[in-house]
C-alpha cells in the first residue's frame, strides 16, 4: 500500500496495539472481580439460607433434589423466640433484629448529635490550629479496631460507668448489657458522622454565609439555619452510613452486649444482635448442613439485606437532596 | 425612629442579649461535643494502658515471654507469638491478593474505561461493597472456600489461613481501589498528554508515566487499608480461625490464629487474668498500627509532589 | 447641601445630643485605614455619606472600594487577617467601639453582594429570613409581599412563592436578594457591584431599583462601571490604587469638573 511509506497506517504499531488490547482485557477482569464479589455474596447467602428453610441448597433444589421443609419462612420472619440450641428449637429472628436495632438506635443517639455538633464546630468555629489537632484525633478514633472497643466496653464502660451509675439510680444492670454496646458503637461512629458532615458543611459556598451575616444573623443562626439546611444531603448520608455501620458492627457488641437473644427494650440486660449470634454460631460445634449451622446464612442474609437497603437509601438521599448550586 | 434610641440599640437591647446567650450556649455544646470524642479516645487508651501496666508491673507478666510464647490454658504461660506470626502471614497473602486486582481496577476505571454504564455500575457497586459488614465477607469465604471439597484430597478445604486472607482481601479491596483512584487522579493530565504526544499507547503512558507518579499515593493507601485489615476480627472468626493460637501457622494452607482473634478469646474469658493478656495484646496491636500509619505518613510526605 | 453645613454637624458630634447630626449624615468615616496582614488596603479615608441618597464608590480594581463597603457593617470581621483603624460612625456612634455588636449593626445596615446568593430555600423563606431572625414576624406574608414589590419582583414571582429561590434567573435572584435585604427595613443598604454578574437588561432593572430605593434608604453602591455611577448616584467617591480616596463630591461635579487631575484621567479612561 502506498500509505505504508508514510508509516502511519500499516503495521508499525500493531504490536503495541495488541498489548493495549490484552492489558485492557486484564484490567477489565480486575474490575469484574468487584462485581463478582457482590454477585457471590448474594448467591452464597441465598443458596445456603435456602437450605436453612428447605433442607437443600438452592442450586441443589434447582437440580431436582427433594425439599424437606425445616423452618418456615413466615415463622423465621415473625417468630419472637430464637433458641437454636434448645431441645425444642425455635427460629424466630425478631429477637436478634430487636437486639441489633436496640444497639443501633442507642448508638445513633450518641453519634448523631455529637458528630453533627463536632462537624459544625470544625466547619464554622474552629481555628486552623484547633482543626489541625481535632481532625487527626477523630481519625485515630475511627482507626481503632472494633475488638479494642469491645475490650473497652467490658473493662471500663460497664464496670466503671454503666453499673455504678445506673445501679445507684435503682436499675439492675447485668454484666453483659446493651447499654455498653450502644456507648462504644456510638463512640466509634462519631468520626463517620463528623467527617462526612464537615465535608458537606465546608463545601457550602461562603456567599450564603455572607448573605445571612449581612442580614444580622448570629453565628449560631448562620450555622443552624443556613449551613445545616444547605448541606443536608451530605449530613443525612453520614447518618445513614453511621447507622449502617452500627447494624453490621460485630466484635464490640459481641463482647459488650452478650449472647441472650430476647425481645426487650431494656438497655441494661443481656441481649444478642444478629452479628453476635453469627459469632456464637461460628465458634460453636454445629455440623455442616444442619439447620443450626445453616441458620448462620439465614441471619447473614437478613443482615446483608438491611445494610444493602441502607446503602440504597443513601444513594436515594444523595440524588433527592443534591445541592443545586456549585 | 429617633436617633437617640437608635444609638442605644447598638449596645444590644434585651433581645440581642438573649441571642448572645443562645449563641454562647450553642458554641459551648459544639465544643463539648468535639471534646467528647477526644475524651473518649483518651479514656480508651488510658484504660488499655493502665491494664497493660498492671499486667506487667503488678501481675508480673513477662513481656519477653508474652512475645515468645503462644496460647495456653494457664494465663501465666500464655503468649502472643503464634498470633503475631499468624497476622503477619495473613497480611502477606492479603496484600498479594488485593493489591494487584485493586490497583488494576483503579487503573481501569481512571485510565481505560469509557464513561459508560458499565463503569458507573462498577463504581456504584464499589460504594455498596464498602458498606457490606465485615462479618458478611467472612460468611462468603466460609461458604465459597472453607466449606468446599478439595478435589485433590476429597476433604473439606477447612479453616486455612489462605481463606482468612481471601476474606480480608475482599474486605479491603474497595479501600485500595478508591485510594488508588485518588492517587491516579492527582497525576496531572499534562503528563499524560506529553506521553501520548510522543506516540505512546494508553498502556505505555500508564506504565511509564502515570503509575510511577501515582505509586507513593497508591502505597500509602494500601498500607492504610492493611492497617484496617490487621485489626479485623469478625471475618476471621467466620472462616474458622483458631481462637487459641497455640502454634504459629507454617504456611497458607495451615490452620491459623491471629492477633485480633487471640485478643477476643482472652477478653471473652471470665477469668480476669486473661483480660490483662488481652490488654497486652491490644498494646502490641496498637503499636503495630501506629508503625503502619507512621510508614504511610512518611511515604506520603517523602514522595509528595506538587504538580 | 453644602460642605460647610456638614462641617458644623461634625463639630457637634462629640456632644451627647447627636440627633441633629443624624438627620443629614447616615455614615461617616474618619481616618479609616484597613490592613490585610501587612498590606494596607485603605488609607485614612474621611467620608460623609448623606442620608436618603445614592452614594457610589468607583475606582480601578484593587483600589479598596469593596473593602471600604464591608467596613461599614463590619463584614470584614469575618476575615482573620483584616485589621481596621480609625472610625466608622453610624448615626454618630463609632461601630468599631467595643460595645457595638456587629450582629445588631448589620440589622440596621443591610447588604447586597456581587454574586446573587439566595439561600437554597423557597422565595418566601428567602425574603422572610431576615424578618424571622430579627423577630419581626408579625404580618410576615404582608412584609414579604411589600419587600418583593419594592424590589420590583412581586409580579414575576407572586404565583411561585414556594418554589426555590435558585430556580430564578440571575437578575431575578439579585432582586430577590435585594428584597431579602430590605425586608427587615434597614436604614442603610450596602451594595457591592450588585449588577456586575448580570446581563444588560437585568442591570438596568437593578439600576432603576436603586434609584427607587433611595427614597426610603441610604444606599451605598460600589461599582466599577463609571456610566452606572453617573446614572444612578447623587454623590460619587473615587478611590485609586493603594486605597486612597482621591475625591468625593456630587456626582455631577466628579464627572464634569473634577478637582483632581488623577480623577479626570481615570474618568476619561487615561488609566485604570
Q: 3-state class of A173 per DSSP?
A: coil
Establish if A230 belongs to a structural domain: yes
Establish if C200 belongs to a structural domain: yes
**Do A274 and A314 reside in the same domain of the chain?**
yes
Residue B55 CA, distance from chain mean position: 27
As a whole number, mean pLDDT of residues A189-205 equals 95
Which residues of C are less than 8 Å from A325 in CB distance?
120, 166
Establish if C124 belongs to a structural domain: no
List the single residue in C73, C78, C113 with the smallest CB-CB distance to A211.
C113
Establish if A198 belongs to a structural domain: yes
Per the CB < 8 Å rule, is A122 touching B34? yes
HSE, CB side, 13 Å, CA atoms: give it for residue B112.
24
Establish if A76 belongs to a structural domain: no
Confidence at C138, pLDDT banded by 50, 70, 90: confident
As a whole number, mean pLDDT of residues C162-191 equals 93
Among A288, A289, A256, residue whose Cα is nearest residue A275? A256
C45: CATH: 3.40.50.300
Which residues of A are less than 8 Å from C182 in CB distance?
none
pLDDT tens digits, residue range B84-106?
999 999 999 999 999 999 999 99
Per the CB < 8 Å rule, is C105 touching A217? no
- CA gap B244, B264 in Å, rounded: 10
Establish if C157 belongs to a structural domain: no
Q: How many domains does chain A contain in total? A: 2
**Do A195 and A232 reside in the same domain of the chain?**
yes
Establish if C161 belongs to a structural domain: no
Helix axes A206-214, C170-182, angle to 10 degrees: 30
**Do A53 and A120 reside in the same domain of the chain?**
no
A203: CATH: 1.10.3720.10
ipTM higher than 0.85? yes
Per the CB < 8 Å rule, is A156 touching B109? no
In A, minimum Cα distance to C113 occurs at: A211
Establish if A190 belongs to a structural domain: yes
Task: Determine the pLDDT at residue C210.
Answer: 93
pLDDT tens digits, residue range C90-114?
988 899 998 888 888 999 999 999 9
**Do A254 and A304 reside in the same domain of the chain?**
yes
Establish if A168 belongs to a structural domain: yes
Domain coverage including residue C225: 3-118+187-267
Tell me how crowded residue C250 is: count the other CB atoms within 10 A of its CB: 14
Domain coverage including residue A42: 2-70
Q: Are strands C93-94 and C82-90 parallel, antiparallel or unpaired?
A: antiparallel
Q: 3-state class of A83 per DSSP?
A: strand
Establish if C222 belongs to a structural domain: yes
Task: Determine the pLDDT at residue C9.
Answer: 42
**Do A126 and A47 reside in the same domain of the chain?**
no
The answer for residues whose C-beta is within 8 angstroms of residue B287's C-beta and 6 or more apart is none
Establish if C162 belongs to a structural domain: no
Kindly write down the DSSP assignment for every residue of B157-219, as one continuous string. Answer: --SBHHHHHHHHHHHHHHHHHHHHHHHHHTS-HHHHHHHHHTT--HHHHIIIIIHHHHHHHHH
Residue C215 DSSP label? T
**Do A158 and A258 reside in the same domain of the chain?**
yes
Q: What is the pTM of this model?
A: 0.88
- CA gap B281, C9 in Å, rounded: 80
List the single residue in C113, C129, C181 with the smallest CB-CB distance to A207.
C113
Lowest mean pLDDT: which of B65-79, B164-178, C168-182? B65-79
**Do A97 and A153 reside in the same domain of the chain?**
yes
pLDDT tens digits, residue range A106-128?
999 999 999 999 999 999 999 99
Kindly write down the DSSP assignment for every residue of A197-234, as one continuous string. Answer: HHHHHHTS-HHHHHHHHHTT--HHHIIIIIIHHHTHHH
Grid cell of C103 as nine digits: 450582629
**C-alpha separations of C260 from A61, A152, C248 in Å:** 97, 76, 10
Establish if C140 belongs to a structural domain: no
Task: Determine the pLDDT at residue B9.
Answer: 53
Q: Is the predicted pLDDT of residue C12 greater than 90, yes or no?
A: no
**Do A172 and A200 reside in the same domain of the chain?**
yes
Task: Determine the pLDDT at residue C5.
Answer: 42
Task: Determine the pLDDT at residue A52.
Answer: 94
Contacts by residues C14-17 (CB-CB < 8 Å, ≥ 24 positions apart): none
Q: Is the predicted pLDDT of residue A223 greater than 50, yes or no?
A: yes
**Do A62 and A105 reside in the same domain of the chain?**
no
Establish if A308 belongs to a structural domain: yes
Grid cell of A15 as nine digits: 504490536
Lowest mean pLDDT: which of A102-106, B75-79, B133-137, C43-47? B75-79
Establish if A80 belongs to a structural domain: no
User: Average pLDDT over chain A, rounded to whole?
Assistant: 92
In A, minimum Cα distance to B231 occurs at: A145
Per the CB < 8 Å rule, is A33 touching B173? yes
**Do A54 and A202 reside in the same domain of the chain?**
no
Among C254, C194, C216, C193, residue whose Cα is nearest residue C52? C216
B27–A contact, CB cutoff 8 A: yes
Q: Are the C-beta atoms of residues C93 and C81 closer than 8 Å to each other?
A: no
Grid cell of A43 as nine digits: 448467591
Task: Determine the pLDDT at residue A1.
Answer: 45
Q: How many domains does chain C contain in total? A: 1
**Do A229 and A113 reside in the same domain of the chain?**
yes
Establish if A82 belongs to a structural domain: no
Q: Are strands A82-83 and A90-91 parallel, antiparallel or unpaired?
A: antiparallel
Establish if C54 belongs to a structural domain: yes
Amino acid at each position: 500500500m502506498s500509505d505504508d511509506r508514510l508509516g502511519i497506517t500499516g503495521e508499525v504499531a500493531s504490536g503495541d496495539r495488541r498489548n493495549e488490547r490484552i492489558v485492557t482485557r486484564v484490567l477489565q477482569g480486575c474490575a469484574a472481580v468487584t462485581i463478582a464479589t457482590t454477585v457471590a455474596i448474594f448467591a452464597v447467602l441465598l443458596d445456603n439460607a435456602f437450605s436453612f428453610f428447605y433442607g437443600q441448597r438452592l442450586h441443589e433444589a434447582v437440580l431436582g433434589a427433594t425439599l424437606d421443609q425445616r423452618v418456615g419462612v413466615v415463622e423465621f420472619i415473625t417468630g419472637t423466640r430464637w433458641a437454636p440450641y434448645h431441645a425444642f428449637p425455635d427460629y424466630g429472628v425478631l429477637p436478634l433484629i430487636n437486639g441489633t436495632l436496640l444497639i443501633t438506635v442507642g448508638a445513633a443517639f450518641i453519634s448523631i448529635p455529637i458528630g453533627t455538633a463536632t462537624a459544625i464546630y470544625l466547619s464554622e468555629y474552629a481555628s486552623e490550629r484547633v482543626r489541625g489537632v481535632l481532625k487527626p484525633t477523630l481519625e485515630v478514633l475511627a482507626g481503632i479496631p472494633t475488638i479494642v472497643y469491645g475490650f473497652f466496653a467490658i473493662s471500663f464502660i460497664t464496670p466503671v460507668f454503666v453499673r455504678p451509675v445506673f445501679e445507684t439510680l435503682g436499675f439492675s444492670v447485668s454484666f453483659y448489657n446493651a447499654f455498653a454496646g450502644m456507648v462504644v458503637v456510638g463512640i466509634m461512629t462519631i468520626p463517620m458522622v463528623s467527617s462526612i458532615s464537615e465535608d458537606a458543611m465546608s463545601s457550602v459556598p461562603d456567599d450564603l454565609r455572607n448573605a445571612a451575616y449581612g442580614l444580622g444573623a448570629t453565628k449560631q443562626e448562620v450555622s443552624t439555619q443556613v449551613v445545616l439546611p444547605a448541606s443536608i444531603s451530605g449530613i443525612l448520608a453520614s447518618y445513614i452510613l453511621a447507622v449502617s455501620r452500627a447494624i453490621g458492627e460485630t466484635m464490640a457488641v459481641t463482647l459488650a452486649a452478650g449472647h441472650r437473644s430476647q425481645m426487650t427494650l431494656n438497655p441494661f440486660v443481656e441481649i444478642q444482635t444478629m452479628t453476635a449470634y453469627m459469632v456464637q454460631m461460628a465458634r460453636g460445634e454445629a455440623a455442616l448442613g444442619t439447620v443450626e449451622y445453616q441458620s448462620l446464612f439465614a441471619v447473614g442474609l437478613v443482615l446483608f439485606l438491611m445494610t444493602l437497603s441502607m446503602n440504597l437509601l443513601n444513594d436515594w438521599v444523595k440524588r433527592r437532596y443534591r445541592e443545586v448550586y456549585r | 425612629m429617633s436617633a437617640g434610641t437608635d444609638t442605644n440599640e447598638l449596645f444590644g437591647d434585651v433581645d440581642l442579649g438573649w441571642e448572645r446567650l443562645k449563641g454562647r450556649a450553642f458554641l459551648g455544646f459544639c465544643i463539648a461535643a468535639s471534646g467528647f470524642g477526644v475524651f473518649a479516645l483518651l479514656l480508651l487508651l488510658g484504660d488499655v494502658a493502665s491494664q497493660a501496666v498492671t499486667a506487667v508491673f503488678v501481675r508480673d507478666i513477662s513481656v519477653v515471654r508474652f512475645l515468645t510464647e503462644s496460647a495456653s490454658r494457664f494465663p501465666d504461660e500464655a503468649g502472643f507469638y503464634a498470633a503475631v506470626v499468624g497476622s503477619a502471614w495473613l497480611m502477606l497473602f492479603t496484600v498479594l491478593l488485593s493489591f494487584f486486582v485493586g490497583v488494576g481496577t483503579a487503573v481501569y476505571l481512571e485510565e481505560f474505561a469509557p464513561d459508560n454504564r458499565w463503569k458507573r455500575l462498577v463504581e456504584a457497586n464499589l460504594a455498596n461493597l464498602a458498606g457490606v459488614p465485615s462479618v458478611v465477607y467472612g460468611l462468603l469465604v466460609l461458604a465459597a472456600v472453607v466449606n468446599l471439597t478439595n478435589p485433590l484430597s476429597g476433604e473439606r478445604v477447612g479453616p486455612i489461613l489462605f481463606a482468612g486472607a481471601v476474606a480480608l482481601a475482599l474486605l479491603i479491596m474497595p479501600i485500595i481501589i478508591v485510594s488508588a483512584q485518588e492517587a491516579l487522579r492527582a497525576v496531572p493530565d499534562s503528563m499524560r498528554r506529553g506521553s501520548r504526544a510522543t506516540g505512546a499507547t494508553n498502556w505505555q503512558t500508564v506504565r511509564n508515566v502515570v503509575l510511577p507518579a501515582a505509586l507513593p499515593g497508591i502505597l500509602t493507601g494500601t498500607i492504610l487499608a492493611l492497617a484496617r485489615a490487621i485489626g479485623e476480627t469478625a471475618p476471621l472468626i467466620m472462616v474458622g480461625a483458631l481462637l487459641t493460637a497455640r502454634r504459629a501457622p507454617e504456611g497458607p494452607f495451615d490452620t491459623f490464629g491471629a492477633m485480633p482473634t487471640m485478643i477476643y478469646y482472652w477478653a471473652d474469658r471470665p477469668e480476669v487474668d486473661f483480660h490483662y493478656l488481652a490488654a497486652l495484646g491490644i498494646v502490641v496491636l496498637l503499636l503495630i498500627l501506629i508503625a503502619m500509619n507512621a510508614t504511610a505518613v512518611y511515604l506520603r510526605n517523602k514522595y509528595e509532589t506538587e504538580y | 447641601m453644602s460642605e460647610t453645613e456638614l462641617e458644623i454637624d461634625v463639630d457637634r458630634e462629640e456632644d451627647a445630643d447627636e440627633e441633629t447630626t443624624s438627620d443629614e449624615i447616615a455614615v461617616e468615616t474618619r481616618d479609616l485605614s484597613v490592613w490585610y496582614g501587612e498590606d494596607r488596603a485603605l488609607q485614612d479615608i474621611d467620608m460623609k455619606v448623606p442620608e436618603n441618597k445614592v452614594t457610589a464608590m468607583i475606582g480601578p480594581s484593587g483600589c479598596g472600594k469593596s473593602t471600604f463597603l464591608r467596613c461599614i457593617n463590619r463584614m470584614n470581621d469575618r476575615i482573620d487577617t483584616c485589621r481596621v483603624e480609625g472610625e466608622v460612625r453610624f448615626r454618630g456612634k463609632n461601630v468599631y467601639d467595643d460595645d457595638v455588636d456587629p450582629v445588631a449593626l448589620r440589622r440596621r445596615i443591610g447588604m447586597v453582594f456581587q454574586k446573587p446568593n439566595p439561600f437554597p430555600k423557597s422565595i418566601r423563606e428567602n425574603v422572610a429570613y431576615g424578618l424571622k431572625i430579627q423577630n419581626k414576624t408579625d404580618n410576615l406574608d404582608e412584609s414579604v409581599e411589600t419587600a418583593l414589590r419594592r424590589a420590583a419582583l412581586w409580579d414575576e414571582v407572586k404565583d411561585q412563592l414556594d418554589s426555590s429561590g435558585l430556580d430564578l434567573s440571575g437578575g431575578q435572584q439579585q432582586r430577590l436578594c435585594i428584597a431579602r435585604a430590605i425586608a427587615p427595613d434597614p436604614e442603610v443598604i450596602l451594595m457591592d457591584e450588585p449588577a456586575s454578574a448580570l446581563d444588560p437588561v437585568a442591570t438596568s432593572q437593578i439600576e432603576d431599583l436603586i434609584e427607587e430605593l433611595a427614597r426610603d434608604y441610604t444606599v451605598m453602591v460600589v461599582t466599577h462601571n463609571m456610566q452606572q455611577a453617573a446614572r444612578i448616584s447623587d454623590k460619587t467617591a473615587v478611590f485609586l490604587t493603594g486605597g486612597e480616596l482621591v475625591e468625593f463630591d456630587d456626582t455631577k461635579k466628579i464627572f464634569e469638573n473634577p478637582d483632581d487631575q488623577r480623577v479626570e484621567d481615570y474618568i476619561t479612561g487615561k488609566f485604570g
